[in-house]
Structure 1
Amino acid sequence: MLDRTTCYENLEEPQKRGHATEAIIQSAFVLRDVPVLVPTYGTDAYDLVVEVGGQFHRLECKTAYRSGAGTVAFETVSNHHRRDDYGGCGYNGRAAYFAVYDPVNDNRYLIPVSEGTGERMELRFRETAADGTPTIDRAEEYLLDDRLEDLRRS
């Protein structure tokens, strides 16, 4: 049987990996009893909307990929052309959170868009001998269940 990472790599088109990620993230929220709204068209600057604590939050779904020893990364900008011509720019003001699926570790993260730096964000899931890079965030700080609890309390 193939592992998750190989399954993702076998999806030759990036759009198929994106659709798989959206489905996994959507089911993660549904399993946690969080209502999920899906835009009718694929032309919005976000993929899903969730309702937590009576508030709606726009999510941009991203797939993480192995980027180094003990790290995964995801792109924080879009290269797709959509109706409002935001291709190649960030998501500030367009989405509130990146909902990230990491097929390497089978983790789901919820990261405020405002914390996404540059064109990609790197998350460390395992300590290495060469740790100390200040631009790499700790993955455990963004785990979906913890972030969801924070949203429910606010």
Structure 2
Amino acid sequence: MSDRTTWYESLNEPQKRGQATEAIIRSAFVLRDVPVLVPAYDNEPYDLVVEIAGKFLRIQCKTAYQKSEGTVAFETVSTRRRGDGYDRTGYDGRAEYFAVYDPINDNRYLGPVSEAATGKMEIRFRDSANGQHAGINWAKEYLFDKRLAALRP
């Protein structure tokens, strides 16, 4: 297990892992000369706003976790605890992109909210044991730099 995975696991509170992910994603945009705006409050349905080609895009940052061999996943809903249970809300119309940090492989992914599965999205970075290829979200299609380049003129 790599040091970065150990560091993430040592952050016992989900909020701390989220803060670490947001910092990593924010720095990925800044290093690529993309302006980043951060909401003043923590109750927005997005974590960052970036300006690309004169457009402002709302970004929801997520931390990936190992789902199975060769696959990582992330939650595509916001879960808030309520007095009568949990409220799970999607991001359609509330953010344009998910920016995902995978601490297992040290990868960053960028994908439109409109392409994400409801509840959870899996990203595969190795072929599956059964050789299935249809309906798979391949990591190479969501790599941060590839998606960012497609957004730029």
Query: TM-score under structure 1 normalisation?
Result: 0.91
For residues 130 and 12 of structure 2, the distance between their equivalents in structure 1, rounded to whole angstroms, comes to 33
Match of 2:136 in 1: 136
Q: Secondary structure at the match of 2:90?
A: coil
What pairs with 1:5-154 in structure 2 (closer than 5 Å)? 5-80=5-80, 87-132=87-132, 134-153=134-153
Aligned-pair CA distance for 1:129: 2.4
Offset from partner CA, 1:40-67 (integer Å, 9 cap, x none): 0001000000001111100000000000
4+ residue runs of structure 1 moved beyond 4 angstroms? none
Identity of aligned residues (%): 64
Offset from partner CA, 1:122-142 (integer Å, 9 cap, x none): 000111322316443101101
Q: Secondary structure at the match of 1:88?
A: strand
Aligned-pair CA distance for 1:81: 6.0
For residues 50 and 42 of structure 2, the distance between their equivalents in structure 1, rounded to whole angstroms, comes to 16
Contiguous gaps of at least 5 residues in structure 2: none
Contiguous gaps of at least 5 residues in structure 1: none
Question: How many residue pairs were aligned?
Answer: 149
For residues 10 and 133 of structure 1, the distance between their equivalents in structure 2, rounded to whole angstroms, comes to 35
| Paired amino acid for 2:12 | E
Does 64-73 or 133-142 show the bigger shift?
133-142
For residues 81 and 37 of structure 2, the distance between their equivalents in structure 1, rounded to whole angstroms, comes to 22
Q: Secondary structure at the match of 1:39?
A: coil
Q: Secondary structure at the match of 1:137?
A: coil
